[in-house]
């Protein structure tokens, strides 16, 4: 529920003060009834609001969430197989939001969700190349040559990958943990890059997206982005 004058202002009817005046003047109706009491609470998604007889179309407030996706969830919102969806984890979130980009069913890690279609589009557009950081546990221990191939570009069926930052974090018992920073966002890119050089991924986690990290967000939990974080993302998505 939100205060009526705020809903009117958010819908672009008038400033908050002017909206209060319209309410006091008896010019505002909610579900057909004149409401002239300030502070009246309405649900913009349900209540029919009009000003001087003209319906008010409420603008949906923009929401931004950072989710620590567990493995075993799909990022698509309609999965034909009916598997668990990432949005199932957003308990208490009433807005309809959708993921910015994708993570595979088996991939864990940082996933942003929003109802801001413009920002979502920009952040996934190859032109802007937002940096995504992944930790990949691979089978086998890549040598310097293999790591350099990942860095300079791997030939995949959809072309050569762009330069990436890659480092070996550690290795034990025939597996290695790699960190990869990539700018592209092709389908299953990290898995395909590692496969192509002969080191299949056993576990994949996205740890960073455009300067954001998973710090303080346990697996399966989410938090709201701050206005400063949203502004920083917007800057990375270009202004035009
Ligand atoms: N690369 C992949 O292979 N999978 C993901 O989920 C993300 C990047």
Q: Is the CB of 191 under 6 A from ligand 1?
A: yes
pLDDT for residue 231 is more than 80: yes
Q: Is the CB of 103 under 6 A from ligand 1?
A: yes
Q: Which listed CATH number (3.30.70.1560, 3.40.190.10, 3.10.450.50, 3.40.720.10) goes with 131-209? A: 3.30.70.1560
Please tell me the predicted confidence (pLDDT) of residue 239.
57
Q: Is the CB of 183 under 6 A from ligand 1?
A: no
Residue spans per domain, the chain: 2-55, 64-126+212-236, 131-209
Determine the distance separating the centroid of ligand 1 and the alpha carbon of 107, expressed in angstroms: 7
Q: Exposed, middle or buried by CB within 10 Å (0-12, 13-18, 19+), for 190?
A: buried
pLDDT, average across residues 131-145? 97
Q: Is the CB of 107 under 6 A from ligand 1?
A: yes
Which has the closest alpha carbon to 207: 100, 146, 132? 132
For 2, phi then psi, to 5°, come to -140, 160
Classify domain 64-126+212-236 by CATH number: 3.30.70.580
Active site (catalytic) residues: 104
Which tens digit of pLDDT belongs to each residue from 161-185? 999 999 999 999 999 999 999 999 8
Beta-bridge partners for 138: 176, 201
Tokens representing 53?
Answer: 């007889």
Please tell me the predicted confidence (pLDDT) of residue 49.
95
Classify domain 2-55 by CATH number: 3.10.290.10
Segments of 31-158 assigned E as strands: 33-34, 41-42, 49-51, 54-55, 64-69, 98-99, 108-114, 132-139, 155-156
- CA 206 vs CA 40, 134, 227: distances in Å: 44, 4, 23
Write the DSSP string, 34-46: E---TT-EE-TTT
Q: Which of 71, 100, 102, 182 to mutate to test the pocket of ligand 1 (most atoms within 8 A of CB)?
A: 102
- CB atoms inside a 10 Å sphere around CB 209: 22
Residues 56 and 86: their CA atoms lie apart, in Å, by: 33
């Amino acid at each position: 529920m939100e205060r009526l004058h705020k809903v009117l202002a958010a819908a672009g009817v008038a400033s908050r003060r002017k909206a209060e005046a319209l309410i006091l003047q008896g010019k505002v109706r909610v579900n057909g009834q004149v409401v002239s009491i300030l502070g009246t609470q309405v649900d913009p998604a349900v209540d029919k609001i009009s000003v001087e007889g003209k319906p008010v179309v409420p603008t949906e407030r923009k929401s931004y969430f950072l989710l620590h996706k567990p493995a075993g969830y799909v990022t698509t919102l309609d999965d034909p197989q009916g598997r668990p969806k990432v949005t199932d984890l957003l308990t208490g979130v009433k807005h309809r939001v959708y993921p910015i980009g994708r993570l595979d069913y088996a991939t864990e890690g940082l996933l942003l969700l929003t109802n801001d279609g413009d920002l979502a589009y920009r952040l996934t557009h190859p032109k802007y190349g937002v940096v995504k950081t992944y930790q990949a546990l691979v089978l086998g221990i890549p040598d310097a040559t293999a790591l350099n191939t990942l860095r300079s570009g791997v030939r995949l069926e959809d072309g050569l990958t762009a330069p990436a930052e890659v480092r070996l974090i550690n290795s034990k018992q025939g597996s290695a943990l790699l960190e990869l920073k990539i700018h592209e966002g092709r389908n299953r890119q990290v898995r395909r890059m590692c496969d192509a050089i002969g080191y299949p991924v056993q576990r994949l986690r996205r740890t960073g997206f455009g300067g954001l990290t998973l710090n303080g967000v346990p697996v399966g939990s989410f938090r709201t982005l701050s206005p400063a974080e949203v502004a920083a993302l917007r800057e990375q998505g270009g202004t035009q």
